[in-house]
Chains A and B, each alone.
Chain A
Amino acid sequence: MNRTAGKLSLLLLLTPFVLWIVLLVLLPHVQMLRVSFQVRESWDSLSWGVTQYSNFFAESYYWRTFIRTGVMSMLTTALTLLIGFPIAWYIAKLARGRARGVLFLACLIPFWASELVRTYGWMILLRESGLFSGWLQALGWVDGPVELLYNDAAVIVGLVYNALLFMVVPLVTTLDGLDDNLVEAGYDLGGNHWNVLREVVIPWAMPGIVSGCIVVFMLTLGSYLTPTLMGGKDSAWFTQQIFTQFITRFNWEQGAALGVLLLVLSSLLVWLGLRLTGQNLRKVLG
């Protein structure tokens, strides 16, 4: 291929990519950033300012929800890792032959249903007229119907449920590559379960742990359905506030500022996570 043809094919291939990323991702985000610094003085005049951001810090409801969402997302991520790790270990190291494939596929089953359907399933189970309440009454453990839905614990149960797949898959992939001999050597050198886990298994699995945690954290932080449908009056989620500003109050400037803040929070924590563990985005996602 000569140089001109090479240049031409590069141009032809680059154009759709550039159109997609610029028109659908970069420009909209630049515009959102711009709008977040615009202050509406009357219906047709705007000026530049940081009113929306000072609103965020002045109004305790905003930043409290912000911190709550961040903390709950980290808690969900940690729980998902704790629950998912033994499962991934079993699939990668203990199960054999057919059982392995079947167990792995079983982990994927919930994802044949959308988040809405999964959340709806939990609502049927947990609400006052739900199955758990009925079973507890049948067992005689409680006297009347109990409301298990609409609290933070229910939200966490739902969020962990939604996130498990994204933790188990990367963990299985990395643990698969761990040579059994390394683990045996750990025991032969006098290590107990805890030592081997800490010195051999976890360092090896770190790339999988990091990539699982990042994906789970991002998904949880940005989730809307589960906290909205399963949370109570006090379990506000930050995405709900963005939604309220845009759809109910029609205050785009404030909504854009909250959106920028959420984006900054998630990018910052992802970046910190990568930094602390010495990973990079390309390895984790691509």
Chain B
Amino acid sequence: MIRSVPRSRWFISLYGLYLLAFFIYLALPLVVTAVFAFNDSNFPSLPWQGFTLDWYFADAAESGNRTGLFHDQGLLSALWVSVLVAFWVTVISVALGCVNAVLFERIQFRGKELLYLVMLLPLVIPGVILGVSILVFYSGMANQVSLNWGIELDLFRPGLPLVIAGQVAFITTLSTLIIAARLRKFDPQLEEAALNLGATPIVAWFTVTLPWLLPAIFGAAAMAFLMSFENFNTTVMLTGSDTPLTVALFNRLREGSTPVLNAVALLLMAVSALLAMATLRRS
């Protein structure tokens, strides 16, 4: 089964067919979603009615019944909410990830092994549970405080702060792992050299260690942004009146699908592809 072991011809062709089928299976749903964003029909299904950009640019006020993505206030504001949430999640989880990476890679202390396992915990907790537990804790606390003292802690009610908290809870673990992996390969002698040459620890950190970590920090930031943007399971439990895009799309989908959803999906794929490409090129 390796190159040097002879294989029969039918085995090779069968294997080839399997690979082909596999990659068709991977690509098909995405290709179909993308193609139907341009179908000139009110439903994302066959038959093909011709090419149109209506699902991006049509304005119901001007031209009848179709509302394209760029005139759909509901979707646009959901998109903005998602960007806002993803931005804060990225900032917080990457900052925490840097600190955690230094803590676990550079400092020796008792109980480190145990704390490392605790740090991994958010990865083995299903996203729904993570959302539910944060809802129970913070929203329950807000209820109690309101009941006992009459103070309204709106920050802890379902809404964007809780969504950000829920996503930071597990995305921080991932960013920590990415940044720690890079820090592990860092040669501490470089930092010692900086210290010997008269730099203070702070200066050494900013001029030697941080530049070395930069690719991992960019990678972690791209990952955090995408994970936050695409997250549904944790978000849906914590969202209030401002719904992020995935939740808004889910609600639309339950009402029935129109090609506007395909248009949004294609836009999202394009943006993630660009982001992924930018990170790959950097590293």
Assuming the contacts A87-B19, A180-B2, A281-B120, asked whether A161 and B125 have C-beta atoms less than 8 A apart, the reply is no
Nearest CB on A from B145, distance (A): 14
Please state if A17 and B100 are interface contacts (CB–CB under 8 Å): yes
In the complex, A10 Cα to B102 Cα: how many Å? 10
Nearest CB on A from B138, distance (A): 8
Binary interface profile of B, 206-235, with partner A (CB < 8 Å = 1, else 0)? 000000000000000000000001101100
Q: How many inter-chain contacts with C-beta < 8 Å in the A-B complex? A: 236
Please state if A120 and B136 are interface contacts (CB–CB under 8 Å): no
Please state if B265 and A120 are interface contacts (CB–CB under 8 Å): yes
Residues of A within 8 Å of B25, CB to CB, are 161
In the complex, A225 Cα to B246 Cα: how many Å? 11
Residue in B closest to A285 when the chains form the complex, CB atoms: B120
Please state if A286 and B268 are interface contacts (CB–CB under 8 Å): no
Among A253-286, those with CB < 8 Å from B are 255-256, 259, 262-263, 266-267, 270, 281-282, 285-286
Please state if B133 and A32 are interface contacts (CB–CB under 8 Å): yes
In the complex, A125 Cα to B100 Cα: how many Å? 44
Nearest CB on A from B229, distance (A): 7
Please state if A32 and B136 are interface contacts (CB–CB under 8 Å): yes
Residues of A within 8 Å of B36, CB to CB, are 124
Please state if B136 and A94 are interface contacts (CB–CB under 8 Å): no
- B116's partner among A106, A270, A282 (CB-CB below 8 A) is A282
Chain B CB within 8 A of A14 CB: yes
Please state if B44 and A17 are interface contacts (CB–CB under 8 Å): no
**Max count, chain A CB within 10 A of own CB: residue among B103, B136, B246, B273:** B136
| Prevailing SS type, chain B contact patch | helix
Residues of A within 8 Å of B138, CB to CB, are 28
Chain B CB within 8 A of A118 CB: yes
Chain B CB within 8 A of A112 CB: yes
In the complex, A210 Cα to B18 Cα: how many Å? 24
Please state if A263 and B29 are interface contacts (CB–CB under 8 Å): no
- A28's partner among B137, B172, B265 (CB-CB below 8 A) is B137
Please state if B168 and A124 are interface contacts (CB–CB under 8 Å): no
In the complex, A155 Cα to B128 Cα: how many Å? 18
Nearest CB on B from A245, distance (A): 9
Among B129-160, those with CB < 8 Å from A are 129-130, 132-138, 140, 147
Please state if A131 and B46 are interface contacts (CB–CB under 8 Å): yes
In the complex, A1 Cα to B113 Cα: how many Å? 24
Residues of A within 8 Å of B165, CB to CB, are 24
- A83's partner among B15, B22, B121 (CB-CB below 8 A) is B22
Chain A CB within 8 A of B197 CB: no
- B127's partner among A116, A127, A187, A222 (CB-CB below 8 A) is A222
Please state if A114 and B22 are interface contacts (CB–CB under 8 Å): no
In the complex, A1 Cα to B204 Cα: how many Å? 14
Please state if A281 and B46 are interface contacts (CB–CB under 8 Å): no
Please state if A124 and B120 are interface contacts (CB–CB under 8 Å): no
Please state if A131 and B32 are interface contacts (CB–CB under 8 Å): yes
- B132's partner among A26, A107, A184, A259 (CB-CB below 8 A) is A259
In the complex, A174 Cα to B236 Cα: how many Å? 36
- A242's partner among B2, B132, B273 (CB-CB below 8 A) is B132
Please state if A243 and B96 are interface contacts (CB–CB under 8 Å): no
Chain B CB within 8 A of A86 CB: yes
Q: Across the A-B interface, give the 6 residue pairs with the lowest CB-CB distance, nearest first.
A: A222-B126, A121-B29, A114-B230, A28-B133, A28-B137, A24-B169
In the assembled complex, 17 residue pairs joining A and B whose CB atoms fall closer than 8 Å, in A order, are A17-B103, A20-B172, A24-B134, A28-B133, A29-B133, A94-B15, A108-B276, A117-B30, A117-B265, A123-B257, A184-B2, A239-B126, A243-B128, A259-B128, A262-B128, A262-B129, A266-B124
